[in-house]
Structure 1
């Protein structure tokens, strides 16, 4: 969720809004530190701090504070079991703030940092009036309650999606609310729909090799064009780069034919093993574009978490859908 942009929008329309943040977590809790929820005066909200009684109580607190007008922030220390009857068993500190049009300049600055993409850090402190002051900074502050750091924004995994057919369109929509940035490529100018989600950038494909060469090393590659020779050329180039995920739409038969040609091109067995084809989670065999998109989206989320785990542990990720999976029926 674009927290600061949503705050700007709510304050612009309603004159005021509240920000509910998970400031500190001890033990098991439904959301992590720096999870946010933005609340309107009428009780409408965007985002979540984990649902359940905790969220209901914080919504009520936020509305109460909005009714009182812009004022100092509140910190609520909640034991999830004893205080709220939730079974998580942990303890959280929740920070609740209110904003109005006097804060628009500060909110806009944070929204711009958020729009720039990726993660950013704010140095935070309470001022004399008990309100939180934030400055975008990469400096390391101390960990005291009177001065602390928050992490905002979202690290989006780059995806190169080759093909704007039915499945490509469904996949772009499925990925829209998730942490992916899609470069959507097709050689047909009229292939793209009139309305495209903000996370996707349509690109008229002219040089597939150049696109693969310019892609960041952590990109996920998905190949589903209207043309089998084009699919083969893109997939071969992607496999040679060693991306963490290379998916090709098609059946086990298509995979076997492509692998034969890839071996002739000199690609080794390790690279061939990295190919995800058929795409999507094993056991989901529906051929409707929306079903395929949902299955592939779940697989990409799994791959994203495995890659993140690899950075920490140094182990090699295993992506369901590579050569060891059972043949699926997502034909192309």
Structure 2
């Protein structure tokens, strides 16, 4: 499986609404650890992709980029560093770096949908959602299932043995879907999301009986009863069969319905939309 290019990863960060800094090595003189044109992407979490040479140069550039993010910087800047005096390296070259900050939630931010699980329903759901103006993140411990999904600039894949640890990293406006292989793997993600976050939509695959079991167990673990009600199970609008493809369509329909319900409503009567072309 080929890795997404740096441009694809930059586009994905923009669509997801994450803040980042693009760092470009625009000039390298003498003995430098990387050639002109090297690039890296830095987020608040650290190095996201690429490299400008590693070692002390990259460490200092990483620190400066994260300082710019923390300060909410909006203006690009250039820096010139002499490797011996400014960076503390033994080689005698110099570098000129360009830092271009991109604010979180800026232009291009798309609807973030996080899907926990990569099984049969997710295999059918991702191709339905991918053409929409959304940013998909699919999380599963099984690499072989992630590898079966289509590749696109707006789809990110995370192989994680403890998916619940990713809940704190999700954007506030994310729609969360628990579509894992069973109750035991859905519940840790669901419980952490309900206990620590306030996402606009949380859906869980399963039956009403499963929903009751989940609520009872989470309440027994200390989750307030009112919070334990704040998820949709079974997820999806009530139509179609149990075929994974039809379940996927019902879930996509509910996601769109819930998304549109969050938008400001026009004061006049809503007109029927006519597709262009």
Q: TM-score, normalised by structure 2?
A: 0.55
Distance 1:177 1:203 in 2: 20
Using CA pairs under 8 Å that are at least 6 residues apart, name the structure with larger relative contact order, 1 or 2: 2
Is the Cα contact below 8 Å between 2:128 and 2:252 reproduced in 1? yes
Distance in structure 2 (CA, Å) of the matches to 1:210 and 1:245: 19
Give RMSD over aligned pairs: 2.9
1:223 to 172, 175, 178: 178
Which of the two has higher C-alpha Rg? 1
Structure 2: 5+ residue stretches without partners: 1-9, 18-73, 75-106, 268-277
Q: Give per-residue Cα distances to partners, 1:276-315, cap 9 Å, x unaligned.
A: 0001113x141111111111111111111222339x99xx
Identify the match of residue 223 of structure 2 among 262, 267, 271.
267
Distance 1:215 1:116 in 2: 15
- Out of 193, 199, 223, the residue aligned to residue 243 of structure 1 is 199
Aligned residue in 2 for 1:173:
127
Kindly indicate whether residue 72 of structure 2 is the aligned counterpart of residue 117 of structure 1.
no
Residues 252-282 of structure 1 deviation map (CA, whole Å, 9 limit, x = unaligned): 1111111110111222233222110001113
Match of 1:201 in 2: 156
Q: What is the distance in 2 between the residues matched to 1:113 and 1:193?
A: 21
Structure 1: give runs of 5+ residues left out of the alignment: 1-111, 120-137, 139-152, 314-332
2:214 aligned partner? 258
Q: Specify the SS of the correspondent of 1:117.
A: helix
- For residues 186-245 of structure 1, the C-alpha deviation after alignment (integer angstroms, 9 at most, x for no partner) is 001111244524121111013323200111111111011114211111111112212111
The answer to whether the 8 A contact 2:12-2:155 is kept is no
TM-score (norm 1): 0.46
- After TM superposition, the runs of 4+ consecutive aligned structure 1 residues lying more than 3 A away are 112-119
Which one of 179, 183, 195 corresponds to residue 137 of structure 2? 183
Q: Does the CA contact (< 8 Å) of 2:167 and 2:192 recur in 1?
A: yes
CA distance in 1, matches of 2:145, 2:132: 23
Task: Report the CA distance shift for 1:252/1:243 in structure 2 as closer, same or farther (over 3 A).
Answer: same
Contact preservation (8 Å) 2:16, 2:135: no
